[in-house]
């Protein structure tokens, strides 16, 4: 499939999933909000130009924000993880994999351990930032820590489930 079409479908899918399914789940606990929408940014191709990555993340976050009525709230963490993503990938990937720019980060292209590290770092960053700006005016530190931990755990679980459920066909690069 054409990658542009593929990522556009993903864009719409993740927004709808977050707005109409995950955001309507009745809260189990005040710490736990299931967030998975930013997996879209995690799954963008490795070699995407950094400026496009930033812009896409911004538009993506803002789209979600217009559904929840809080412009900027989700866009800011999205842009933050999009900015840090290339550095993290450079650290985690072996040289020759990093050059295979059209590939997407995933357990097949990276291996389980680096992929989970990659996901955990970005999840923690995203949630810390999100909860921080959400709670800046109320300032209860215990709540902040609890919410970051709870939300991150649920997100990691969702991302692992998604990774196992959704088969993403990775073209294996033929040796030239």
Partner 1 sequence: MRNILLFIQRYFTFICFLILQILCIVLLSRSSKSHETFFSTAANEVTGKVNQQYSGVRQYFSLRETNRMLTEENVRLRNELTNNYIDTASTQLVTTDSTLRDSVGRMRKYTFLPAHVIGNTITLQNNFLTIERGSAQGVKKGMAVTSPQGIVGVVVEVGPNISRVMSLLHRNSRVSAMLKKDTVTGSLEWDGADPTYLTLRNIPKSSVIKKGDTVLTSNYSANFPSRLMVGTVADIRSESESNFFSLTIKTAVNFFNIQYVYLIENVRYKEQLSLEQTTPTRQ
Q: Which residues bind partner 1 (CB under 8 A)?
A: 20, 23-27, 30, 33, 50-51, 54-55, 58, 61, 65-73, 75-76, 79-80, 83, 133-135, 137-138
Nearer residue to partner 1 within complex by CB, 3 or 72: 72
Q: How far is the CB of 145 from partner 1 (least distance, A)?
A: 16
- Residue 65 Cβ, how far from partner 1 at the closest point, in Å? 8
In whole angstroms, what is the distance from residue 83 CA to residue 100 CA?
20
Q: How far is the CB of 94 from partner 1 (least distance, A)?
A: 24
Cα 52–chain centre separation: 16
**Least distance CB 113 / partner 1 (angstroms):** 28
Q: Which is nearer to partner 1, 75 or 148 (CB)?
A: 75
Nearer to partner 1, 70 or 172 (CB): 70
Residue 109 sits at the vertex; the CA angle it makes with 103 and 110, to the nearest 5 degrees, is: 120
Separation of alpha carbons 61 and 65, rounded Å = 6
State the Cα–Cα distance between residues 119 and 66, nearest whole angstrom. 26
What gap in Å lies between CA 52 and CA 115, rounded to an integer?
Answer: 22
DSSP per-residue string spanning 49-114: -HHHHHHHHHHHHHHHHHHHT-TTTTHHHHHHHHHHHHHHHHHHS-HHHHH-TTPPPSHHHH-HHH
CB of 51 to partner 1, least distance (A): 6
C-beta of 82 vs 110, nearer to partner 1:
82
Between residues 131 and 159, which has the closer beta carbon with respect to partner 1?
131
């Amino acid at each position: 499939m054409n990658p542009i079409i593929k990522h556009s479908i993903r864009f719409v899918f993740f927004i709808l999933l977050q707005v109409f399914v995950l955001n309507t789940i009745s809260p189990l606990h005040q710490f736990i909000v299931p967030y998975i929408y930013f997996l879209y940014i995690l799954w963008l191709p490795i070699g995407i130009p950094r400026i496009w990555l930033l812009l896409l993340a911004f538009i993506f976050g803002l789209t979600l924000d217009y559904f929840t009525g809080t412009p900027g709230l989700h866009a800011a963490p999205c842009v933050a993880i999009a900015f840090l993503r290339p550095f993290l990938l450079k650290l985690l990937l072996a040289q020759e994999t990093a050059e295979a720019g059209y590939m997407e980060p995933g357990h097949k292209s990276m291996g389980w351990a680096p992929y989970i590290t990659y996901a955990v770092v970005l999840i923690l960053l995203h949630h810390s930032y999100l909860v921080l700006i959400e709670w800046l005016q109320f300032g209860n530190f215990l709540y902040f820590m609890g919410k970051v931990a709870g939300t991150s755990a649920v997100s990691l679980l969702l991302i692992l489930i998604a990774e196992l459920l959704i088969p993403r066909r990775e073209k294996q690069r033929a040796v030239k």
